[in-house]
A and B are shown apart, each in its own frame.
Chain A
Amino acid sequence: MTDLTAKTTEVHTDEERASGGTSNPYLLMPISVLFILLIFAIIRSPSLISSAGIGSAIIVSAPLILATYALMANAISGRGTVDLSVGPLIGFINVTMIQLVANGYIGSPVSVFIFAVALGMAYQLLMGLIIIYIRVQPIIVSLSGFLALSGINLVILPRPGGLAPEWMLNWGSGTTIFSPVLIILIVATLAWLLFTQTAFYTHLRLMGSDERAAYTSGVPITIVRLGAHAIAGMFSGLAAITFTSLISSGDPSQGTTYTLIAITAVVLGGTSLAGGRGSVIGSLFGALNLYLITYVLATFNFGAVQSFVTDLAYGAILVASLLLTLALPFIQRHIRNFSPLLYFVALSVIVFGVILHNTFDYDGLKSIQPVLLMAGPLEAAGTNAVNLVSPGYAKPLIFAALLIIIIPVLLRVLVSQSSRKDIGPLLAIVVAALVLLGGYLLSRGPELPDSGAKTEEVR
């Protein structure tokens, strides 16, 4: 009897240990919100899932995502570091870049990148030095930076205007997915993921959750804090570049808005402003969520009160997601082996289904009167969907979808039951392969009816 209980507890702890590294319950919320919004967005306006739709989504949300990364780097470092000055800093790099380009001091891509990143890092390092050596609370330092930078931005460029460097002008068109902005985004995300593998990141998290413990265990907290600021500065520089490419000019007055939205995105992504916790995927989803909120709301026609409704929705979602973090301990208690990856895959299969449903039913929707369309977004699609979906295309897709769900579930169970911990990468590879397979099938299978639908739409 005792033997048995001992065994079960052993398995139990093993399970927990196996899930300890990867399971991050704080990702639960951003993922759920992301997919709910995504489904809404696709149903409301299927043009999101097109080359141009995704392209413009990337272009518009890139500065926000990068600003969110910058904020996150600082937030992890603890002491309640909420960098209020991130928006004005992006504006500052933007307007100085525009002015320097206009006067011919810089112009080539390399010089612009070096300039933006160096300026961001210089500012953030200065801030870090003030926090470390003058020992004023970080929020006061960032408040001071906010006021000073938003003032000086208006001095440098009194009103929106100017022109971005020539090579950057066609970045902001957003007609294709594979724009340079996407490359910047991917490189930045990968860089952060690589960074999380370093000892420096471990030090950073330790310092964020308990600075005294970090100091007594010999972590060089001064250097770690400066490093966090340098990384934040780097991301601010990149955010400024993508911001410049988005608006193709200079704008000194975006500071307050960007600060508030970026802080919202950080919190939506599950980063703790108290320090020590944060994930790049969460921040990415947080920023994407904000874009999707705006997108979904834009599909409703509120007329003159559009921006007010957006404000209201921002606020309500922000408060709701914050309150949901209170419920996380309960969820964590019940779901021991939560895997964000599996959750993500499962939800993305559902979204794939919705996309397929929507794309194939597009003709059907077209034929109905617009009045009926307004009746209810969920009901309208079902009218004569069946006869349009060719079973020949649908079968492999459904099969792939089932595979995508079942195989990871099996693998996940396998991993959690076995005591070995290094199956994790294998799982990731298999899931990635399956997703790729699904994507391949998707791109091959419904090509004919899909393009047909599109051409009809164009007409």
Chain B
Amino acid sequence: MNVPVADMQNGNLLAKLIGLVLAIGLTAIGVVLGFVQGLPAQQVILYAVATFALSAWAWKFYLQQFHTQNSAAREEDGPGELRQAWEKYRLGVLGFVILLAGFLILSLTVEGFFNVWNVVSGLILLAIIVLTITVGKFVSENKSAFIGLMVLIGLFTIGAMNIEGFASAVNIKSILLFAAFLGLACVGQTLVSLLGGLDLSIPFVIGSANVGLLYMISLGVPPWLAVILILLLGAIIGAINGILSFRLQGQALILTLGTGFAISGGTQIITSIGTAYSGNVFGTVPKWLSNLSAMNGVTFGLPFPPVIAIWALVAIVLIVGMRNTVYGRYLYALGVNRTSARRISISERVYWVAMYSLSGLFSALTGALLLGWSGGGFIGVGDPYLFMTLAAVVVGGTSLLGGVGGYGFTVIGVLVLQVLTSFLVGIGLNFEWQQFIFGILILPMVALYARSPHIRTQI
């Protein structure tokens, strides 16, 4: 019994040594970089001490979390001590080195990247990653929501520290405003994916509703009536989508794309009949509609646009409804297993068509609200939503195969995407880079919780 204890102490010593070496190395790099940049000596020393303390703490945390049980179960004879230590801590060391290398490359290539805020935010990032991994082990249900929340917190903290005005009321309001548009557009996508379908007609319906509403208003239809008509038309289009794709569920993606093309083309033909301006509709948007979704809108005297309140209301109704009502439970039942749902006489057709028509309804609503925001009709207003709705649903954690997820997850996904956009805009990246980073980030986020089992476990 003596040997393992000695071994453990030995291992602990080694671990501490490795941590010490890493911390000293990090501090040394910091000091060198500080002097190269010509900072005052006091500052460099302060940063060096802070770096050393923080990295030593991070290493200690890592040791406590991961290597208390493992070390007891080690074998007595094996490769040499150094090699053993390497094998034991290689994950931690490698992760550390990779983070460090990334940081170094960034500081060497980007001018002025190496400053105290970036170091601190890097460490916060590290802490959040460690926290996510350690706490994530205990979260077995709703892992995607947990990870999404952690990413949200991390992004927001770092953004607030690094970017001036990131945590200001105006910026938060604008994040929420765009999140509300995206969130409303995602309602349909979420509901449809819960059944295992996909709806790519959303952007086209948004664009058509946007142009069609203005067209109706310019024809002299009372605005309130026009909005109701547009919502109704949206629901009808959604229902048509649902009816057509019910027998072709595997091809729902492409079928909705086809109806989307047709609707967008048809709307533009109708709206450009009798005018010289093809595809451009002119008209005045009523005040109440622009108040609904403009940045300086007012909700019952409070200074935020009502669209945020609408989104919140929709989200609450959907989350509560899907959790507690029989309709919501049936929806999940259908998504998980069609056969067993049919056995308890749930009509698949009714739910399929209903979800698609809800999708059309909310797309039309988004289009109408976007008209209030922009003040002019434009058919391409929905284009960014083509894949963004899909991305938000997927990042939130709703499975595209059906049965898993919910609107609450999508809300988190939407917020993550919007805060990330705001952050990327804040650090001065333009649209191309934002899109690139979105694409790169979707994969690891989804990979954290939505990995399908290996084929050999499915047999």
Contacts and interface: CB of A to CB of B under 8 A. Distances in A.
Interface of A: 80, 82, 84, 130, 134-137, 139-141, 143-155, 158, 211-212, 215-216, 221, 256, 260, 263-264, 267, 272-274, 303-305, 308-319, 322-323, 325-326
Contacts of B431: 151, 154
19 contacts: A82-B254, A134-B443, A135-B454, A136-B443, A143-B391, A144-B439, A150-B435, A151-B431, A154-B435, A216-B459, A221-B455, A260-B257, A304-B278, A305-B268, A311-B264, A312-B262, A312-B265, A315-B257, A315-B259
Contacts of A145: 439
Contact of B279 (A151, A274, A308, A316): A308
Contacts of B433: 151, 155
B452 interface: yes
A313 B442 CA distance: 34
Interface stretch (B114-122, B161-169, B216-224, B243-251): B243-251
Contacts of B265: 308-315
Given A304-B278, A311-B262, 14 more contacts: A130-B443, A137-B452, A143-B387, A147-B435, A147-B436, A151-B431, A151-B435, A154-B435, A155-B433, A212-B459, A260-B257, A308-B268, A322-B244, A323-B244
B183 interface: no
Contact of B253 (A147, A273, A308, A325): A273
B258 A136 contact: no
Nearest to B390: A143
The range of chain B's interface size is 35 or more
Contacts of A153: 432
B351 interface: no
Contacts of A155: 432-433, 436
A322 B269 CA distance: 24
A82 B433 CA distance: 25
Given A147-B442, A264-B254, A312 B458 contact: no
Given A263-B254, A273-B253, A312-B262, A148 B436 contact: yes
Interface of B: 244, 247-248, 250-251, 253-255, 257-266, 268-269, 272, 278-279, 383, 386-387, 390-391, 394, 400-401, 431-440, 442-443, 446-447, 450-456, 458-459
A309 B390 CA distance: 28
B447 A136 contact: yes
Contact of B394 (A143, A152, A313): A143
Nearest to B444: A134
B158 to A, nearest CB: 21
Nearest to A154: B432
A152 B443 contact: no
B206 to A, nearest CB: 15
Decide if the interface of chain A is mainly helix, strand, loop or mixed. Answer: helix
A88 B394 CA distance: 21
Nearest to B443: A144
A264 B259 CA distance: 12
Contacts of B248: 322-323, 325-326
A274 B265 CA distance: 28
A273 B278 contact: no
B272 A308 contact: yes
A264 B247 CA distance: 18
A418 to B, nearest CB: 38
Given A312-B265, A322-B255, A305 B250 contact: no
A148 B283 CA distance: 38
Nearest to A320: B258
B439 A147 contact: yes
A139 B400 contact: yes
Contacts of B438: 147-148, 151
A135 B261 contact: no
A318 B432 contact: no
Contacts of B456: 215
A260 to B, nearest CB: 6
A156 to B, nearest CB: 9
A304 B277 CA distance: 8
A273 B250 CA distance: 7
A148 B262 contact: no
A212 B455 contact: yes
B436 A315 contact: no
Contacts of B244: 319, 322-323
A140 to B, nearest CB: 5
- Which 8 interchain pairs have the tightest Cβ spacing? A148-B439, A315-B262, A151-B436, A315-B261, A311-B265, A147-B439, A312-B265, A304-B278
Contact of A314 (B258, B278, B432, B443): B258
Given A147-B387, A155-B433, A267 B442 contact: no
Contacts of A305: 268-269, 272, 278-279
B246 to A, nearest CB: 10
B90 to A, nearest CB: 20
A137 B449 CA distance: 12
Given A135-B452, A140-B446, A314 B261 contact: yes
A151 B439 contact: yes
Contacts of B386: 256
A315 B254 CA distance: 10
Contacts of A80: 250
A153 B262 CA distance: 29
Contacts of A312: 261-262, 265-266, 269
A9 to B, nearest CB: 32
Contacts of B453: 135
Contacts of A322: 244, 248, 251, 254-255, 258
Contacts of B263: 315
Contacts of A137: 400-401, 450, 452
A148 B442 CA distance: 10
B440 A144 contact: yes
A145 B455 CA distance: 24
B101 to A, nearest CB: 21
A142 to B, nearest CB: 10
B262 A319 contact: yes
Contacts of B401: 137
A152 B260 CA distance: 27
B390 A135 contact: no
Contacts of A151: 431-439
Contacts of B255: 318-319, 322
A326 B246 CA distance: 11
A134 B447 contact: yes
Nearest to B453: A135
A71 B401 CA distance: 21
A148 B452 contact: no
A135 B450 CA distance: 8
Contacts of B251: 267, 273-274, 322
Nearest to A316: B262
Contacts of B455: 211-212, 215, 221
Contacts of B454: 135
Contacts of B432: 151-155, 158
B257 A264 contact: yes
Given A143-B391, A147-B391, A304-B278, A136 B450 contact: yes
Nearest to A80: B250
Among A144, A263, A264, A305, residue most surrounded by chain B Cβ atoms (within 10 Å) = A144
Nearest to A308: B268
A212 B457 CA distance: 10
Contacts of A147: 387, 391, 435-436, 438-439, 442
Nearest to A326: B247
A310 B261 CA distance: 9
A315 B257 CA distance: 7
B451 to A, nearest CB: 5
A147 B401 CA distance: 21
B249 to A, nearest CB: 9
A149 B258 contact: no
A371 to B, nearest CB: 24
Among B263, B435, B451, B452, residue most surrounded by chain A Cβ atoms (within 10 Å) = B435
